[in-house]
Amino acid sequence: MIKHSCPYCETIRDVKEVKRNETIEIKGKKVSYEAVHYECTECHNLFDTKEQMGKNLLAAREAYDLQYNSITSDKIIKIREKYNASQKAFSLILGMGELTINSYEQNKSVPNSSNRLLLQLAENPLIFFEMYEKNKTKIGAIQREHIESSQVYKDCKRWGGLENLYQHLSSTEREVIENKTYIVGSSVVQIVSDMVKAEMSKTSFEIYADAHEVEEGTIPSSTDINREFSIGVA
């Protein structure tokens, strides 16, 4: 028997766990889930410990996700086919059991929250191919060939991802981008693509003018630096 302080009797009592189906509203939608409470064996009132309240809330959220946020089997098939991967290969790359994806696609089971998160992340080719690099030894050569012949894989290799791009920038240049990201409250991807778009939309004359300016301004004179510094202090 578990012992707990009963808030009704205001003393330590023997309590038992009671499970029951409850319905609550999350984001305006009704969700049913299995809640766990304690029942005092003396006064028979139900009560929750803080820990149980947390667990019940989690169970409700999980039920909500399953009902309204779940990744459908069609969506899983779409993601997997984008990478030319077999069900088994896709499972192993994502670090799941061999038959897991098959069972999701056949609607024999529904992804739990951690696998749902993995599947949502796998939708992003950069993340998927990072998983692929880590787990590709688990799959056969023919499967690897299939995946590497996909258009997304080729595109990813060509771009090399943001990390690759970053390796071509100096730490000062990276700092400029990160500061902008911070100030604007945007992502690095957004900032970099905005910069590229701004550059592309310039007329050739502007690009030429910019290049000229950069050349002249590359080495600032010491008076320039002093002037900037004093402005900064004031």
Which residues contact Zn ion by CB under 5 A? 6, 8-9, 40, 42-43
Minimum CB separation of residue 40 from Zn ion in Å reads 3
Q: Which residue is nearest to Zn ion (CB)?
A: 40
Which CB sits closer to Zn ion, 3 or 27? Answer: 3
Which CB sits closer to Zn ion, 4 or 157? Answer: 4
Minimum CB separation of residue 6 from Zn ion in Å reads 3
| Cβ pair 94, 122 in contact under 8 A | yes
Which CB sits closer to Zn ion, 47 or 166? Answer: 47
Minimum CB separation of residue 32 from Zn ion in Å reads 28
Minimum CB separation of residue 45 from Zn ion in Å reads 5
Which CB sits closer to Zn ion, 13 or 88? Answer: 13
